[in-house]
Chains A and B, each alone.
Chain A
Amino acid sequence: MGAGHGGALSARYVAGTSPVHRLAPQVKLVAVLAYALVVVATPVHAGWAPWAYAGYLLAVLTVAAVARVRPARLLRSLVVEIPFVVFALLLPFVTRGPRVEVLGLSLSESGLQTGGALLAKATLSVLAATVLATTTEPRALLRGLERLRLPAALVQILGFMIRYVDVVSGELHRMRVARESRAFDGRRRGALRVLGAAAGALFIRSYERGERVHLAMLSRGYSGRLPGGPAAAVPPREWAAGLALPLVAGVVLATGMLLG
């Protein structure tokens, strides 16, 4: 159908058996979050900040290498960052304060710093998240969130999203084919009205499907929470291995703060 055979959301996952793949999903989630927090906590205007960013980058690239994530995939994942890049490139032009000459352009010094820091922090966080998405199946991520005590309702909503994103996009695709089969042209005047109606129809269909799914769930004894499978406790050694990434980042940050 419209979405690829593998499902739109599982497209980022690449099966593997690396140590990173084998880590429990909750460990990886905590590690990525902690890593991102350390990265964000790095002071923007400190002189040693670029060195810290280099250290973080080295750490996350090491993890990516252990996980055998291909460099091309890491680069492609950076596409989501483009809005930040635009913003970061604007900053040196619009920020006030002392200015420096670069290639004949007068740029704000603090704008350069802020923009650069923004770019570095976003890039590092996206890289870590990409390693997570590449090495963890979507439903394993859900299990991880569940173990981390995210409210059950939220986990269920995410689960249904994973399950039904292909069903709904299939429906969307069939509606588009049906429209175009009757010579519909999206660029013509009045097309928006048609597309609006289609969006409404899709919403109502999805809503009705939600009601039917709920009926089917009730019929099989659903009582408010999804029963989970067997939960194995994560050994401390695995936590230690998984948290190595944010720990290394933390050490880099602490060193910078103490020496800088």
Chain B
Amino acid sequence: MSTTPSLLVEDVAFAYPDGHQALFGVDLRIDPGERVALLGPNGAGKTTLVLHLNGILRPGRGSISVAGLPVAKQNLREIRSRVGIVFQDPDDQLFMPTVGEDVAFGPRNLGLPEAEVAARVEEALAQVGMAGAADRAPHHLSFGQRRRVAVATVLSMHPEILVLDEPSSNLDPAGRRELAEVLESLPVTLLMVTHDLPYALQLCPRAVVLDGGAVVADGGTRELLADAPLLAAHRLELPYGFDPSRA
């Protein structure tokens, strides 16, 4: 039996206008409910790939579909409601004057009625443990709170797949743990771009390694992290003293 995958990337290649080729035929299939870590060194093409998932960048070759819907110009609105991208810097993500208005931004763009928007704002903020923060200004929140609100801003669109770019960067250990608890509690398909290998192991049973614009490994996170030669070949390093087989 084959279900429709949440995300299907087939042979995607992309070169920037300046001629720099970032992706050379990427294939990736993520089924509903899967949690996948996208690993790779800086410059591997991770962010480029992420920007393809909701049609910000268009592949030069190959195709992408989200829950069966191809990423194409006429579907962009629907695609952007299905793919929720949380960018690395919450100050980029939170641009409205209050948390509530920011979480409402996506649902309002989808043209939902105001009562539904309000319900979604409340639900999304509760999911990230920020209920009651709707009237606060983003710059009054701690960095960890802002990161969680950034997650809420896309949860309110009820995405098919949640894409996180470096979710643990710049968080203090408590903030990092709180975010992990939130992410673990969310009933969504998850693609997490990260350098934080223990975080990937904690949250994602499966990992994909991208390097040089192509997928070079795809498998169980624990097995991949135990493969020292693979990690070394792609500039991935575990923190000192960390043993993935014992974590």
Q: What is A's interface to B at a CB cutoff of 8 Å? A: 5, 7, 10, 138-139, 142, 159-160, 162-164, 166-167, 209, 212-213, 215-223, 226-230
B172 within 8 A of A: no
Among A138, A159, A209, the residue within 8 A (CB) of B92 is A209
Question: What is the chain A residue whose CB lies nearest that of B51?
Answer: A215
Among B56, B92, B139, the residue within 8 A (CB) of A7 is B139
Q: Which of A142, A209, A215, A220 has the most CB of B within 10 A?
A: A220
CB contacts (< 8 Å) of B77 on chain A: these are 221, 223
27 sampled A-B residue pairs with Cβ under 8 A: A7-B137, A7-B139, A10-B137, A139-B98, A160-B95, A162-B97, A163-B95, A163-B97, A164-B91, A167-B139, A212-B89, A212-B92, A215-B56, A216-B87, A216-B93, A217-B95, A217-B105, A219-B54, A219-B56, A219-B83, A219-B87, A220-B109, A220-B153, A221-B77, A221-B81, A221-B109, A221-B157
CB contacts (< 8 Å) of B106 on chain A: these are 220-221
Q: Mark B75-104, 1 if CB is under 8 A from A, else 0.
A: 001001101110101011111111001001
| With contact pairs A7-B139, A163-B138 given, residues A216 and B95 touching in the complex (Cβ less than 8 Å) | yes
CB contacts (< 8 Å) of B87 on chain A: these are 212, 215-216, 219
CB contacts (< 8 Å) of A219 on chain B: these are 54, 56, 80, 83-85, 87, 154
| With contact pairs A219-B80, A221-B80, A222-B109 given, residues A230 and B95 touching in the complex (Cβ less than 8 Å) | no
CB contacts (< 8 Å) of A166 on chain B: these are 139
B56 touches A229 (CB 8 A): no
Measured CA separation A221–B153 after assembly (Å): 12
Measured CA separation A215–B80 after assembly (Å): 12
Measured CA separation A218–B104 after assembly (Å): 14
Question: What is the chain B residue whose CB lies nearest that of A223?
Answer: B109
B80 touches A227 (CB 8 A): no
State the Cβ distance, B179 to closest chain A Cβ, in Å. 18
Question: What is the chain A residue whose CB lies nearest that of B111?
Answer: A227
B114 within 8 A of A: yes
CB contacts (< 8 Å) of B140 on chain A: these are 5
B108 within 8 A of A: yes
CB contacts (< 8 Å) of B109 on chain A: these are 220-223, 227
Question: What is the chain A residue whose CB lies nearest that of B139?
Answer: A166
Among A5, A139, A218, A222, the residue within 8 A (CB) of B97 is A139
CB contacts (< 8 Å) of A160 on chain B: these are 95
Given known contacts A216-B92, A219-B56, what 20 new A-B pairs fall within 8 Å (CB)?
A: A7-B137, A7-B139, A138-B97, A159-B96, A160-B95, A163-B94, A163-B95, A163-B96, A164-B91, A167-B91, A209-B92, A215-B87, A216-B95, A217-B105, A219-B80, A219-B154, A227-B108, A229-B104, A229-B108, A229-B114
State the Cβ distance, A153 to closest chain B Cβ, in Å. 15
Measured CA separation A217–B101 after assembly (Å): 13
Measured CA separation A18–B85 after assembly (Å): 43
Question: What is the chain B residue whose CB lies nearest that of A160?
Answer: B95
CB contacts (< 8 Å) of A230 on chain B: these are 114
CB contacts (< 8 Å) of A138 on chain B: these are 97
Measured CA separation A25–B140 after assembly (Å): 24
